[in-house]
Chain A
Amino acid sequence: MLLPMLPPMRLLIGASLLATAARGVHAQQRASTPSSPASSPTMTTASVDTIAGASAQPPRTIAIDERLVSDKGLRLGDTLELSASPGGRGERVVVGAIVRRAADPSEVARAEYRVRLHLDQLQRLGGIGDRVDRFAVAVTPGSTERALAAINARSFGFRAHRSSDVAAQSSRTFAVVSRFNRAIGVITIVASAIFLLCIMLLKVEERRRDVAALRLLGISRRTITAAVVLEASFIAMLGSAAGVAFGYASSAIINWHYRGVYRTPLAFSIVTSETVGFSVALSLVLGLGAGFLAARRLTGVPPLSLFGR
């Protein structure tokens, strides 16, 4: 992939921190019916007849963001005027397609509208001449490295990058979020482990007289420990099942909420079999471990002491 050096601030979080809605081009709507309202300084209305008779060339088509459809009431076939500056001279275009937002994480925080034009039309509108931001180069399988080297040997002022490297670069933001979430997860697990051990100690000690009586009857420490661990494993399994169910429900709620907030089809939370497996394994280990430690502690005390003598 050929890339000139991008302005360094044009990275997701930099943009996120300093931008809200960005409009690269400004759209003015020429309404197809007189009843369509003017909605912002960049949108004006005029009659279709005026527009229809003013141009010799049929207007070219563009594709618009589905958000424009829902927010501004645009429809297929609507005629718009596009200009590169507010109130500046523009070109008439017709809405030929509506594009759904992709489930692209890098698009999540961006609230601006998007339109797609033919390249030459955008170059002309923007007054930027024969310029592009980047090329995407498709190569035959297995020849990526050769193509990369060949292009870079000849390029000046721009460089070619592997798409995977670009993806890794633009994923840095999400790598940070992942690390953060993982750190929070670790802290939560530590807190849960302490809590579990404390509760298990409490619950097992509540039954110290029963344990004392059993020991006096001749039941071995091993048997009692096994019984407590078995009980702890049962509770851990039940708890794990409840936790998994809660996790699924929470994941669904998270996706429903953030999809609504960011207006994206992106899945923010995915419960995979690996995640479930890891969580269940961890909770079983913690539960059994806590039960074992509590049981060993209790059975290590002489029975008469457990009776308080």
Chain B
Amino acid sequence: MRALLAWSSLRRHPLRTALAILGVAVSAAMLLDMVMLSSGMQVSFRALLTRQGFEVRLTPKGTLPFDTEARIAGAASAESVVRRLPGVQDVSPVLGTTLHVVRGANADAVFALGIRPAAQGDYTLERGTDAVDVDRMVANATFLTRAGLALGDSVVVAAGYDAQLHMWTARRRVVIAGEARFHYLATDQPAVALPLATAQALVADGGGGSPDQVSLLMVKTHAGVDAEALRRRIEREVPRVTAIATADAVKSVEQRLGYFRQLALILGSVSLAVGFLLVSTLVTVSVQERVGEMAVMRALGVSRPHIAQQVMLEGLAISVVGAAGGLALGLVTARYLNTILRAFPGLPAAIDFFVFEPTAAYKSFALLIVTAVLAGVVPAWRAGSLPIAATLRTEAVS
């Protein structure tokens, strides 16, 4: 009967109830989005970094991956030392550089990765074959489209431009063997990958120093290995590198993008506050309108807790229905907001800012329900505490 009375009270003013539910739905949507935003980057970035199982990354001392043009010298010996460490399953060296694809008098710059195809974790081959031979190359769809090239085409890649002689000191003819999707690069960024030795030779011949250098060494560990302990061991064994575990990388990204987490916290709190005010005001006015009825119910023998429960049920009903609608609305707005943020230049294609996890939905729902309960407490207490005789007298006079 209490539920029926609460429901009948809400049905009495359908427009008001609908508006309140809509208001709660928008608040719930915003809350869900902010909960998703606060953890989305971390989830997404961690998934990206551990995609192929590489838990530790080695970079030139004091740098982070591809943040500068610094390289790890003596790459082969560094790799060999790391491979011998217990817990290390595999090591993937990566050289990142800018090469030029020369076509006639024109040269288009493209970001190039020198990799070892069998061990690489930077891309997924989608068509064709991998760059297993020295004169083979894979490219992403953006590069192929912009350059007007296709699988099987051969191109000249060059490095080391001499402005006085107008020529390249390093050139190679390679065949585009496959098309790949590069995980750590932005979708609109043209990119190619060549065998490591080819890339190293091009860089060296182009005046980039010794061929025995890489930008990054990715370390894959056996299952159950303590990545942090391995990281510290590597830094001791190879002092010219900085070793970064996935957890550290994720933490550093979170620090850099702390703005979004703080924004999520603030907006989430505002959403809850708005929802609280809406439910609380609606229920309070609803009680004020029905003091006569409530006094009569008390006179008929309905107990205080039951009156209070009926009032709280009203607030709860609005919040539950609003939250359900807000969940659907929140997923839509999250997708829209994610689309906006994914336009960040240079953002890896695999990164999302809004990641839906069931725990996010549960958390939002639970927060809203608690808020609804709290919002109904004061009006419910007031409804249950009405002085019966005085209220009946006042209602009779009015």
Binding site for B on A (CB under 8 A): 4-24, 26, 41-42, 85-86, 109, 127, 129, 156-157, 169, 172-173, 176, 179-180, 183-184, 187-188, 190-192, 194-195, 197-199, 201-203, 205-206, 209, 258, 261, 297
Contact = CB atoms under 8 A, between A and B. Distances in A.
B362 interface: no
A5 to B, nearest CB: 3
Given A9-B346, A12-B346, A157-B100, A86 B278 contact: no
Contacts of A179: 340, 343
Contacts of A187: 26, 29-30, 333
A156 B107 contact: yes
Instruction: From B15, B65, B66, name the one whose CB has the most chain A CB atoms within 10 angstroms.
Output: B66
A189 to B, nearest CB: 10
A20 to B, nearest CB: 4
Contacts of B336: 183
A41 B242 CA distance: 12
Contacts of B65: 18-19
A197 B19 contact: yes
B348 interface: yes
B64 A85 contact: no
A13 B398 contact: no
B337 A14 contact: no
B301 interface: no
Given A156-B107, A197-B19, A202-B281, A17 B351 contact: yes
Interface stretch (B114-122, B226-234, B252-260, B364-372): B252-260
A197 to B, nearest CB: 6
A19 to B, nearest CB: 4
A18 B67 contact: yes
B347 A13 contact: yes
B111 interface: yes
B246 interface: no
A202 B285 contact: yes
A173 B341 CA distance: 9
B109 to A, nearest CB: 3
Contacts of B166: 156
A14 B347 contact: yes
A17 B45 contact: yes
A20 B109 contact: no
A7 B98 contact: yes
Given A8-B189, A42-B62, A198-B278, A109 B98 contact: no
B288 A206 contact: yes
Nearest to B111: A8
B68 A24 contact: yes
B346 to A, nearest CB: 3
B153 interface: no
B61 A85 contact: yes
Interface in B259-290: 259, 263, 267, 270-271, 274, 277-278, 281-282, 285, 288-289
Given A9-B346, A156-B163, A18 B66 contact: yes
A194 B161 contact: no
User: Which 8 pairs from chain A and chain B are nearest by CB?
Assistant: A14-B346, A5-B109, A19-B67, A19-B64, A157-B161, A23-B62, A11-B346, A191-B26
A172 to B, nearest CB: 5
B19 A194 contact: yes
Contacts of B67: 10, 15, 18-19, 22
25 contacts: A5-B98, A5-B100, A7-B96, A8-B111, A8-B186, A8-B191, A9-B111, A13-B347, A14-B186, A14-B345, A17-B256, A17-B346, A42-B62, A156-B166, A172-B345, A179-B340, A179-B343, A180-B340, A183-B337, A187-B26, A187-B30, A191-B26, A194-B26, A201-B19, A202-B281
Nearest to B257: A16
Given A86-B61, A179-B340, A206-B289, A7 B278 contact: no
A16 B109 CA distance: 23
Instruction: From A157, A258, A297, name the one whose CB has the most chain B CB atoms within 10 angstroms.
Output: A157
A15 to B, nearest CB: 5
Contacts of B61: 23, 26, 85-86
B68 A22 contact: yes
Contact of B285 (A6, A41, A205): A205
Interface string B95-111: 01110100000010101
Contacts of B281: 198-199, 202
Contacts of B271: 191
